[in-house]
């Protein structure tokens, strides 16, 4: 659902995320059926030691596949900036990932049932996030001149909790009535800056985000982007008993007696919602065009380089042409090909 600044307030979603952030702790993969033409951002192994700058793009909740709608902390049509997921890693004839319907909705989970039927006890579930982001430089200019939002699928443990903690601390330090409104699409929103670091845990090395800072953005996210951003809850893939059975045992294996009753039927049943008008399909944003010679002031030109004499004193990372605090250049990581999950970072995903 497109983000509507007149009817939606993404800062409420930040407040809800702050309230529950300490109740989660594990990490792992998930499944999202991304729309056609999606590009991806990921924290890769080669980015370790670099500083990254993101605009986090808000959107509107579209379905009750959003966990907050099911548990009463959110509602359809409300502003949001991330979708949370509990997931299982499926290891069988084929390998993949699936949502844990028990942890997310309190419904029967095909994978949890399959693990219990196999006598392996309770299946472990991991906590993941997905966000729409723009990768920008320290001044807010899109990397590579492309403002198209990218799908960032990440871990709560290695990104989300540190982001929410930093926003909470900075908000208190500034005397705000809540966290820093980093996802606000108006000029009050912030550029989210962080360092990509390497960490070890559970016998694995992996990337994580550290040293979060929130930089002045001095411009609003263009309405043309907000009008075309889809709700990520729409793309959550609800597994069936058949899918999980075939992933574990192969397509020729017959379901056992415990599976047969619901074989091929999703355990999750959407709640009935009032009819709504069809939402516009996501459309890739046009290629960024370099600004004309007479670049207007930053407030008037969302993606232009800072105008001559534009104030940069409030920017803790320095003006253009200087090193960032840790002496590393802004990441120039290339976008992933369309409709293709991010390439391997070189490190396995952690499980704590």
User: Do the beta carbons of residue 76 and residue 62 sit within 8 Å?
Assistant: yes
Q: Would you state the pLDDT for residue 251?
A: 74
Is residue 349 situated within a structural domain? no
Rounded to 5 degrees, φ, ψ at 213 are -140, 155
User: Does 323 map to a domain?
Assistant: no
What average pLDDT score do residues 141-153 get?
A: 94
Query: Does residue 344 sit within a domain?
Result: no
Which stretch of 33-42, 104-113, 227-236, 268-277 has the lowest confidence by average pLDDT? 268-277
Residue 206 placed within a domain: yes
Q: How far apart are the first and last CA of the chain?
A: 34
Range with the poorest average pLDDT among 4-18, 59-73, 161-175, 260-274:
260-274
Residue 69 domain-assigned (yes or no)? yes
What pLDDT score does 347 carry? 38
Q: What is the pLDDT of residue 226?
A: 95
Condensed to tens digits (0 to 9), the pLDDT of residues 211-235 reads 999 999 989 999 999 999 999 999 9
Average pLDDT score, the chain: 75
Rounded Cα distance between 239 and 317, Å, is: 45
Is the pLDDT assigned to residue 162 strictly greater than 60? yes
Let me know if residue 276 belongs to a domain. Answer: no
pTM summary value: 0.69
Does residue 334 lie in a domain region? no
Question: β-pairing, 83-91 with 126-136?
Answer: antiparallel
pLDDT band, very low/low/confident/very high, at 14 (cuts 50, 70, 90): low
**91 Cβ contact partners less than 8 Å away, ≥ 6 residues apart:** none
Whether 196 and 52 have beta carbons less than 8 Å apart is answered as yes
pLDDT beyond 80 at 168: yes
Residue 15, pLDDT score = 52
pLDDT at residue 132 tops 80: yes
Give the chain's domain count. Answer: 1
Residue 341 forms part of a structural domain? no
CATH code of the domain covering residue 190: 3.90.198
Distance CA 48, CA 323 (A): 16
The two tokens of residue 237 are: 């893939």
Q: What angle do CA 215, 220, 223 make, to 5 degrees?
A: 145
For residue 247, the surrounding DSSP H or E stretch is helix 241-249
Which DSSP helix (H) or strand (E) runs through 133? Answer: strand 126-136
Task: Give the residue numbers spanning the domain of 38.
Answer: 10-260
């Amino acid at each position: 659902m497109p983000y509507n600044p007149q009817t939606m307030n993404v800062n409420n979603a930040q407040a809800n995320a702050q309230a529950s952030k300490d109740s989660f702790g594990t990490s792992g993969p998930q499944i999202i059926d991304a729309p056609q033409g999606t590009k991806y951002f990921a924290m890769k192994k080669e980015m370790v030691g670099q500083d990254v700058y993101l605009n986090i793009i808000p959107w509107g909740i579209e379905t009750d596949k959003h966990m907050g709608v099911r548990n009463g902390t959110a509602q359809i049509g409300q502003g949001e900036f991330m979708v949370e997921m509990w997931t299982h890693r499926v290891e069988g004839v084929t390998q993949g990932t699936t949502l844990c319907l028990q942890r997310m909705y309190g419904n029967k989970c095909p994978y949890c049932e399959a693990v219990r039927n196999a006598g392996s006890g309770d299946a472990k579930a991991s906590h993941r996030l997905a966000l729409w982001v723009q990768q920008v430089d320290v001044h807010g200019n899109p990397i590579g001149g492309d403002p198209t939002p990218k799908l960032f699928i990440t871990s709560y443990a290695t990104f989300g909790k540190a982001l929410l903690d930093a926003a909470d601390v900075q908000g208190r330090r500034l005397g705000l009535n809540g966290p820093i409104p980093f996802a606000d699409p108006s000029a009050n929103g912030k550029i989210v800056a962080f360092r990509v670091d390497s960490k070890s845990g559970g016998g694995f090395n992996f990337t994580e985000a550290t040293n979060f800072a929130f930089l002045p953005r001095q411009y609003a996210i263009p309405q043309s982007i907000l009008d075309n951003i889809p709700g990520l809850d729409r793309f959550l893939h609800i597994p069936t008993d058949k899918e999980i059975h075939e992933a574990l045992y192969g397509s020729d294996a017959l379901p056992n007696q415990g599976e047969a009753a619901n074989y091929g039927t999703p355990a999750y049943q959407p709640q009935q919602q009032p009819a709504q008008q069809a939402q516009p399909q996501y459309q890739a944003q046009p290629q960024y065009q370099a600004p004309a010679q007479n670049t207007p002031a930053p407030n008037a030109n969302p993606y232009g380089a800072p105008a001559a004499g534009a104030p940069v004193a409030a920017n803790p990372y320095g003006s253009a042409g200087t090193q960032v605090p840790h002496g590393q250049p802004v990441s120039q990581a290339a976008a992933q090909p369309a409709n293709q999950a991010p390439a391997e970072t070189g490190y396995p995903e952690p499980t704590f």
